[in-house]
Amino acid sequence: MNPLTFELTITYILFWYFLFYITKWMKDFRGASQNFYLFLTYYSGLGTIFGLVMLVSFGINTELMNALKLMGISIVSNMILVVIETFITTKLLKLDYAVEKIGMISFFVVPVLSYRLMVLIGII
């Protein structure tokens, strides 16, 4: 098992970043389709559980301090990324609400990042 690497850290940060937008879309859902709202809810819930299981698995396979470092780095980085994204979408691209657009991209990116996390942690 590899210790905390740059590739693992970036993959974990991006996983939570893109999952954040699916969760945010679910919380702010304004559509009429209950089925799509349920889909967002399950996708967000399963993604959250998966991310936490990967963190615990990483902590068990290496040491707890590595998992805590990964969690801390991920939280701080995602707060910074969300602020940067907000600035870019509102000031530069003039979009009022970009959550749905990023959320649609996230449907495809999150599974790829999930697979990559499993490879980097050594599950696959």
pLDDT attached to residue 98: 78
Asked whether the predicted pLDDT for residue 97 surpasses 80, the reply is no
| pTM strictly above 0.85 | yes
Which letter does DSSP use for residue 45 in this model?
Answer: H
The 3-state DSSP class for residue 94 equals coil
Section 69-74 average pLDDT: 94
pLDDT attached to residue 3: 80
Helix, strand, coil: what percent of the chain each, to 5?
80, 0, 20
| Per-residue pLDDT tens digits for 1-47 | 448 899 999 999 999 999 999 999 898 887 778 999 999 999 999 99
CA distance 11 to 117: 7
* Nearest to 67, CA basis, from 119, 22, 1, 115: 1
In terms of Cβ atoms closer than 10 Å to its own Cβ (0-12, 13-18, 19+), residue 83 is exposed
Q: Are the beta carbons of 70 and 4 closer than 8 angstroms?
A: yes
